[in-house]
Amino acid sequence: MSTDVIRVLSPTAILGYGFPVASFEDGLSRNPDVIAVDAGSTDPGPYYLGAGVSFTDRQAVKRDLEYLLIAGRSRKIPVLIGSAGGAGARPHLDWCVDIVKEIFEEQKLSGRLAIIPSDISAEVVLEALEEQWIERVPSGPELFSEAVEASTFIVAQIGEEPIMAALEKGADVVICGRSYDPSVFAALPILRGFSRALALHMGKILECAAIAAIPGSGSDCMLGTLDHDGFVLEALNPERACTVTSVAAHTLYEKSDPRLLPGPGGALDLTDCRFEALDDRRVRVTGTRFVPTQDYFVKLEGARPIGYRTVSIAGARSPDFIEALDNILDGVRQQVRNNFPEVQEDDATLLFHVYGRNGVMQALEPETKVNPHEIGLVIEAVAKTQASANTICSFARSSLLHFGYPGRLSTAGNLAFPYSPSDFQAGAVFQFSIYHLMAIADPVSRFPFELLDLEVAS
């Protein structure tokens, strides 16, 4: 086994997003030492954490995992999965474990499976809050006990240490709860003595797979080759290429400070990073440093329910209606408040999203003088019960449909509805309740793993 380089194969940006088989096979032909994949994100919002369900499709996840697990076991290299099931709480973790066990049985695979939960109980968080072990993220709110107690699930982003501990015990497949995105990519390299800084920086890019290539894709493969002085990134689809610009840009991705990337136990200092094109498809990165923090912090994530949502989708193309829209929406809001006191008392919320004008950025939209020829409207009601949300959305929709305004020519409806029925029950609504840092004494003992022997049935 070479100690000069280590190769990490990243098949896809998120497990279930898919990848071309040809790209994956090209990656396998490079003899990777580990296959690692990120399976989750907070990007889809708090619902999936709060509800305990995955934002990825089970069949799509199983399709990806079959390729990964068969390749890993046939080559006797580890397969590492981070943020299982999307949000990484225990229901998500169990969901992913069930798929892995199903594949092992169907494909007659054998190996040792490590399961690393990352859930943190409300009692532990409340104790840490009382002992002042909880810190805000920059510009974030303070944490209060009410938010902790209301959260349905609370997870911590684990670092690479629990994964390394599982690998040291002989795990062939590791499935983690919520994880710091680079952790599963950096764990084996760090365990084998490579630079923590370079391994984490390489993992930061590999976790999004070929998104760091041109043209970028979250559904294609990337290979990282790490030595003791730097690492090389290569897209495995001949239609894509890593360039200095694409790799440097992805290094800046999802960061508030271009020089620092904080994570469990410290931060990457990117001040002296260098990006060098080796050819027209590969980029070498050097100069990354790791700066440990005095205390070891993990980021906590929690979500709590706030009500139920109903939405209605409509369109409008009448110039006089579009010109008068702000006054019309104010009038409809007032009608709803007059009829439903819960809206007036802030026990329910009515929102209008105007696409074609400011539906994406809303109050932050810089283009305020646009005059669109048509608009799309999403009417959204959130209330304490689904029935109340249904009623408020229905009333707002019908009021807007028939609302009279100066200069109105039509005596029929103001809106066009693409669907019948026009209103959709979206179910429970969650919001992030915890997004804070917690100091822990030991990143391994805080997140113990379970090790299972999965054997072919005789």
Asked if residue 224 lies in contact with residue 202, where contact means CB atoms within 8 angstroms, the answer is: yes
Dist CA 213 CA 247 (whole Å): 7
Identify the pLDDT of residue 113. 98
Position 344 pLDDT exceeds 80: no
Dist CA 313 CA 379 (whole Å): 6
Identify the pLDDT of residue 457. 65
User: In which band, very low, low, confident or very high, does the pLDDT at 1 lie, cut at 50, 70 and 90?
Assistant: very low
Its pTM stands at 0.93
Position 408 pLDDT exceeds 90: no
Asked if residue 352 lies in contact with residue 377, where contact means CB atoms within 8 angstroms, the answer is: yes
Asked if residue 34 lies in contact with residue 1, where contact means CB atoms within 8 angstroms, the answer is: no
Q: Encoding tokens for residue 113? A: 């499976």
Q: Encoding tokens for residue 315? A: 């369109």
Q: Residue type at 249?
A: A
User: In which band, very low, low, confident or very high, does the pLDDT at 458 lie, cut at 50, 70 and 90?
Assistant: low
Nearest to 38 by CA among 66, 74, 12: 12
> What DSSP string runs through 169-182?
TT-SEEEESSB-TT
User: In which band, very low, low, confident or very high, does the pLDDT at 363 lie, cut at 50, 70 and 90?
Assistant: confident
Q: What is the pLDDT of residues 177-210, one digit of tens each?
A: 999 999 999 999 999 999 999 999 999 999 999 9
Position 318 pLDDT exceeds 80: yes
Query: Can you tell me which residue has the tokens 């840092």?
Result: 437
% pLDDT > 90, the chain = 91
- The total number of residues shown for the chain amounts to 458
**In the predicted model, what is the mean pLDDT of the chain?**
95
| Residue 75 φ/ψ, nearest 5 degrees | -95, -5
Identify the pLDDT of residue 299. 97
Query: Which DSSP state fits 158?
Result: B
Dist CA 202 CA 5 (whole Å): 13
Identify the pLDDT of residue 345. 75
Question: Which residues lie below 8 Å from residue 318, measured CB to CB, with a gap of 6+?
Answer: 409, 410, 414
Dist CA 26 CA 8 (whole Å): 13
Question: Which residues lie below 8 Å from residue 34, measured CB to CB, with a gap of 6+?
Answer: 6, 7, 8, 9, 77, 78, 79, 80, 188
- Three-state DSSP at 58 gives helix
- Average of pLDDT values for 64-84? 98
Q: What is the pLDDT of residues 124-166, one digit of tens each?
A: 999 999 999 999 998 889 999 999 999 999 999 999 999 999 9
Q: Encoding tokens for residue 453? A: 């022997």
Q: Check the CA dihedral 2-113-15-256 and report its sign.
A: negative
Q: Compute the C-alpha angle 148/150/155, nearest 5°.
A: 55
Dist CA 436 CA 130 (whole Å): 14
Q: Which residues pair with 36 in a beta bridge?
A: 80
Long-range contacts of 143-146 (CB under 8 A, 24+ apart): 143/434, 143/436
**Buried/exposed 157-175: b ≥16 CB within 10 Å, e otherwise:** bbbbbbbbbbbeeebbbbb
Q: Which residues pair with 235 in a beta bridge?
A: 222
